[in-house]
Structure 1
Amino acid sequence: MILVTGAAGFIGSNLVADLNEAGRDDIIACDWLSDDGRWENLSKRSFHDLLLPEQLEGVLASAKGKRIDAVLHMGAISATTATDGNLVLKRNYQYTKMLWEWCAANGATFVYASSAATYGDRTDHFDDRLDYEGLRQLRPLNLYGWSKHMFDLFAVKSTDPAPPHWYGLKFFNVFGPNEYHKESMRSVVCKLAPDILLGKPAKLFKSHRPDFSDGGQTRDFIFVYDVCKAVLHFARGEAESGIYNVGTGQARSFADLVSAAYRAAGHEPNIEYIDMPMELRSRYQYFTEASTDKLRSAGYNLPFLKLEEAVEIYVKQHLAAEDRYR
């Protein structure tokens, strides 16, 4: 049996979809459904049980918990604008540590979501081969990134019994179906889709650095389908334990991303540039690009969708479709 936390969320619900499509419904799905409509992310899915996070520890302690052989921990506060340190510590660090300890005690494979936000403001060397001392030099720009960084440090340094196979996956800029409930944390394509689909002007931030043009800020954009394939690769527990980047290894600009969305919708790009809010400027990453050598050395050999291919799938099969949910 597989436990998926954050199962009604963006990446978690796509993982459940992939497992279903592989013929598996022996899934314990765990998440809060809240009041933001995320239940629809699971409306087409099959699973053994659906739990609230506060119920999980009891299940793990029961006979049912002993049947779990892999934990895919995607649940977290993922807002880069989060400011409640106590809540972020509880959910992103302490809860992850509880699952780590359970996997260690019960011999289960543990895969958890880390983030490229742990790297902070860098223009190169997004290197997942750093040892503990190298990791300690990273300086995340926000509370969310710091919380993920703290657990990465714990995992690498831990002298307590560890899960037999564990993987911290540093996701880069993930986009795709089932992110609709994320409000301000939705991808740019998702947020701008109402205007893009109609050919209206879409607004992007101006650059406030001389080495980047307006719209030239770059990210390693990766489609959620590719992210889930990587997660399930590690869930098999065949690679060496450790921290791995999950990105395409190819940075592209926001202008490229939005232009691809316009073309997928049958329109010419129509982009306007606006000033970035002052409160974001000191915490804004202008460049991310995953080093993928370690991922490839772990046996993950599938190709990544090109940006234009991924955007076309997202726009035509989801954002412009009557039923946008996967």
Structure 2
Amino acid sequence: MVKALVTGGAGFIGSNLVISLVEKGYQLTVVDDLSMGVKANLATVADQVEFHEHDVCDHEFMHSILDEDFDYIYYLAAIASVADSVERPYETHQVNQESVVDTLEYLRVKGYQPKKFLFTSSAAVYGNYPELPKREDSRVQPLTPYAVDKYASERFTIDYGDLYGLSTVAIRFFNVFGPRQNPNSPYSGVLSIVTNCLLKDQQFTLYGDGSQTRDFIYVKDIVNALIFISEATNSYGVYNIGYGKKHALLDVIRMFEEAAGKKLKIQFAEARNGDIQESLADITRLKELGFKANWGLENGLREYWEYADGKSKW
């Protein structure tokens, strides 16, 4: 049986990944300290995974887990709040970089050779440079401790592959949305906040005029891409994961309203400092690897609403 470790597996993307891997018949071990994840996200597969509520910064504990010698390691554990990284730079650094390097080093020292070690990064590493679309070899401008740590951990991941023969890959998420995304923070994914406002008939605050563009991608396509990249024997380096299409935020909200059959109450506010005006992924490398998205934006929005509205139990 194929064995996989998912750190951060009770979070938004992690839990969706875990559920898909269980459906594929993988034997799953999940590590999550539940500081950002929710154990209920794994309720449907609770009896099919080995779950550890633990901090990935506990190196001795993580070493004991890694001694199980996994076929695949998906490293999603992170303090994902940019604002939190600004408030607590060293604490977030320990999670977002030091724990990653320690894991890679333990694999190296012990001689473990997983089929793939996959590290999840973020389009935040690109910063505010105006060039579009963003290619994996575009200039980077990490502007926060979160983005700095993500970029550094990418490089450690790739360099451990190049220098020590580990099979490693790093991916950069663009704007992910879908079931199990937490709407209870002003820094959550914007579509999860929109969903919450539609469900509760509350007012949504839109910062800026809505013309800012994003490359939104449905979480099911993200999960399929993660699995595809990890299982591809010829995957290496860094991959953007998006649809390679940019949409104005206000246009996406209108599409979501149509899927929901409801109008969103919108209050416009001044754009926030540091918010990026345009974002778009170049997904040439992902396409050349052979990956094709199944859902797309409109189908993803429709399915997300059905889930949020209780019409789908997925």
Match of 2:98 among 72, 91, 94: 94
AA matched with 2:113:
G
Q: How does 1:168-207 map to 2 (within 5 A)?
A: 168-180=170-182, 183-197=185-199, 201-206=203-208
Contact 1:166 1:241 in 2 (8 A): yes
**Could you tell me how far 1:126 is from its partner in structure 2?**
4.5
**Could you tell me how far 1:217 is from its partner in structure 2?**
0.3
Match of 1:292 among 264, 269, 283: 283
**2:300 matched residue in structure 1:** 310
Say if 1:224 and 1:53 are closer, same or farther in 2 by CA, change over 3 A: same
**2:32 matched residue in structure 1:** 31
Say if 1:49 and 1:181 are closer, same or farther in 2 by CA, change over 3 A: farther
Aligned mates of 2:102, 2:248 — CA distance in 1: 38
Match of 1:234 among 217, 229, 236: 229
Q: Deviations for 1:100-141, whole angstroms, at most 9, x for unmatched residues?
A: 2234430112001110000001333444442xxx6xx52122
Q: Deviations for 1:22-62, whole angstroms, at most 9, x for unmatched residues?
A: 233x111000124x771110111144421213597446545
TM-score normalized with structure 1 length? 0.84
Paired residue secondary structure (2:185): helix
**2:217 matched residue in structure 1:** 222
Aligned mates of 2:211, 2:183 — CA distance in 1: 27
Contact 1:199 1:267 in 2 (8 A): no
- Aligned-residue RMSD, C-alpha: 2.6
**Could you tell me how far 1:142 is from its partner in structure 2?**
2.0
Structure 2: 5+ residue stretches without partners = none
Structure 1: 5+ residue stretches without partners = 207-213
Contact 2:213 2:279 in 1 (8 A): yes
TM-score normalized with structure 2 length? 0.87
Establish whether residue 259 from structure 1 lines up as the match of residue 260 from structure 2. no
AA matched with 1:110:
F
How high is the sequence identity, in percent, across the aligned residues? Answer: 26
State the structure with bigger RCO (CA 8 A, min sep 6), 1 or 2. 1
Aligned mates of 1:270, 1:204 — CA distance in 2: 10
Contact 2:76 2:120 in 1 (8 A): yes
**Could you tell me how far 1:272 is from its partner in structure 2?**
3.2
Contact 1:204 1:272 in 2 (8 A): yes
Aligned mates of 2:17, 2:158 — CA distance in 1: 25
Q: Deviations for 1:233-275, whole angstroms, at most 9, x for unmatched residues?
A: 1221512310110111001111122112211121245533112
**1:211 matched residue in structure 2:** none
Say if 1:62 and 1:69 are closer, same or farther in 2 by CA, change over 3 A: same
Q: Deviations for 1:73-125, whole angstroms, at most 9, x for unmatched residues?
A: 01101112122111121111111112222344301120011100000013334
Aligned length: 305
**1:248 matched residue in structure 2:** 243
Paired residue secondary structure (2:180): coil
Q: Which shows bigger deviation, 72-81 or 255-264?
A: 255-264
Q: How does 1:39-54 map to 2 (within 5 A)?
A: 39-46=39-46, 47-51=48-52, 52-53=54-55
Aligned mates of 2:71, 2:248 — CA distance in 1: 40
Q: How does 1:156-175 map to 2 (within 5 A)?
A: 156-157=158-159, 161-162=163-164, 164-175=166-177
AA matched with 2:51:
L
Contact 1:60 1:66 in 2 (8 A): no
